Amino acid sequence: MMSKGLIQLVLSRVRHFLREPEAVFWTYGFPLLAAIVLGLAFRSKPNEVIQFDVVESVASDTTLSAISDLKRFEITVHPEEIAMDRLRTNKTIVVVTGDEDGGILFNFDAANPEARQARMAIDDAIQRAAGRTDPVSSVDVTVTAPGSRYIDFLVPGLIGMNLMGGGLWGVGFTLVDMRVRNLLKRLLATPMRRSDFLLSLVGVRALFFIPEMAFLLGAAYLLFGVPIRGNPMTVVVIAFVGSVAFAGLGLLTACRAKRIETVSGLMNLIMLPMWLMSGIFFSSERFPDALQPFIQALPLTQLINALRAVILEGAGLMSQTVPMLVLLAWGGMSFVLALRWFRWTQ
C-alpha cells in the first residue's frame, strides 16, 4: 500500500508539471510533431520523375528521342555551354553529351547519390531503347504494405527515445533544479521519507508515459496506418517498465550533481551512445559484431527491440522476458544506488 506521503508527493509533482506549458509541449507535443514530420518525409511515394539536361548536338539521337516519351523522364535541351553551367550550379544533376564516335557521355557529380542513381536509370533506358535484351528478366516489386515501411520501423524507436528523454530529463533536471533552489533541504526538514520522495519522481514518470505513448501510436495509426499487431496491453506493460528504468537512471544521474550544467552534460553523455547505437532510426545490427554485446546491454536497445517485436510482429509478453529483465535490472540498480548516494543539500 502506498503511504499518504507518497501519494501527496506524486500529486505535487503532477501539479508542478501541468503548470509548465513548455514541459507539456516537450513531453507530448514535440514527439508527436517529430513523428508527423518524419512520417511525411519517409512516406511511400510513387516513382519520382528523373530530370536531366541534354546538349543540343545529341538531342536528335534516336535513342534519346525514344526515352523522351517515357513519363519517368523529363528532358531539357540546352546548348552545351548552358547545360554544363547548369550542372556546375546544381540546377541539374546529369548532363548528357556526345563524343566523336557517336557515343553518349554522362556528366554528373559522382559524390551525389541521386545523380548516380539518375545516371544508371538514364543509361538503362537508353540501352533498352537501342535494342538491348537482358539474358535474365527482372521485375521490381515495390513493397508498401503496413508494417514493412520505414515509418513503421521508426515509430517504436521514437516511443523509446521519448521514454528515455522523459525519464532522464524529467527526473534528473527536476532534481538538480530543486537542489539548486534549496527545495530539497526544505523537504528534508519535513516528516517525509526519503524513499517516498524518490519513488514519487519515478511514479510520476510512470504515470505520464501512458498519454505520451497513446499520442504517438494514435497519430501513427491514424495518419500513416502503422499497424499494432500485438496486444496493446503488452505494449503498455513494456513501455511502463522502460519508463521506470529510465526514471531510475535519471535519479542516479542527478543524485550528486550540484549544477544544471553538470547534470545536462552527464545526461547527454548517457543518452548519446543510445541515440546513435540503440536503433532509433536504423537497425542496431548494422554495427560490428564486436560492439553488439555493449549495444544489447543498453536499456534503450532492449526497449525498442521489445516494442518493435510486439507492435510490428505481434509478439507476446512472455517472449520479451529478456528485454524486460534487462530494463528492470537497470531501473532497480539505479534506484538503489541513487537512494544510497543521494545528495540532499548543496
Per-residue pLDDT of the chain (346 residues; tens, 9 = 90+): 456 766 777 677 667 666 766 656 666 666 667 767 766 666 655 567 788 888 887 766 655 666 766 777 888 888 889 988 998 888 888 998 887 777 788 899 888 888 898 888 888 888 877 777 777 766 666 565 556 677 888 888 888 888 888 778 877 777 887 888 888 778 777 777 777 777 777 777 777 777 777 878 888 888 888 888 889 899 989 988 998 888 888 888 888 888 888 888 888 888 888 988 998 888 888 888 899 999 999 999 999 999 999 998 888 999 999 999 999 999 889 888 888 887 776 6
Could you tell me if residue 178 is inside a domain? yes
| Distance in angstroms (rounded) separating the CA atoms of residues 299 and 43 | 29
- How many other CB atoms sit within 10 Å of the CB of residue 63? 16
Domain count, the chain: 2
Could you tell me if residue 233 is inside a domain? yes
Same domain, 149 and 57: no
Could you tell me if residue 24 is inside a domain? no
Edge to edge, what strands does the sheet with 94-98 contain? 73-78, 50-55, 94-98, 104-108
Phi, psi of 85 (to 5 degrees): -65, -35
Report pTM.
0.69
Per-residue DSSP letter, 42: T
Could you tell me if residue 2 is inside a domain? no
CB 66 within 8 Å of CB 96: no
Q: Which residue has the cell 500500500?
A: 1
Same domain, 105 and 243: no
**Among candidate residues 99, 129, 159, the one where a domain is terminated:** 129
Domain extent for 119: 50-129
Q: What is the pLDDT of residue 25?
A: 66
* Terminal-residue alpha carbon distance, the chain: 33
Q: What is the pLDDT of residue 162?
A: 83
CB 240 within 8 Å of CB 46: no
Same domain, 168 and 298: yes
Same domain, 315 and 211: yes
**Among candidate residues 129, 154, 178, the one where a domain is terminated:** 129
Could you tell me if residue 75 is inside a domain? yes
Same domain, 60 and 92: yes
Write the Ramachandran bin of 47: left for phi over 0, alpha for psi from -120 to 50, otherwise beta: beta
Same domain, 187 and 314: yes
Same domain, 228 and 303: yes
Same domain, 244 and 157: yes
Same domain, 211 and 244: yes
Same domain, 251 and 120: no
Q: What is the pLDDT of residue 1?
A: 45
CATH at 60: 3.40.190.10
Could you tell me if residue 21 is inside a domain? no
Pick from 163, 159, 165: which is nearest to 253 by CA? 165
Same domain, 99 and 188: no
**Among candidate residues 129, 160, 184, the one where a domain is terminated:** 129
Could you tell me if residue 256 is inside a domain? yes
Q: What is the pLDDT of residue 305?
A: 93
Could you tell me if residue 107 is inside a domain? yes
Same domain, 157 and 65: no
Distinct helix (H) and strand (E) counts, the chain: 16, 4
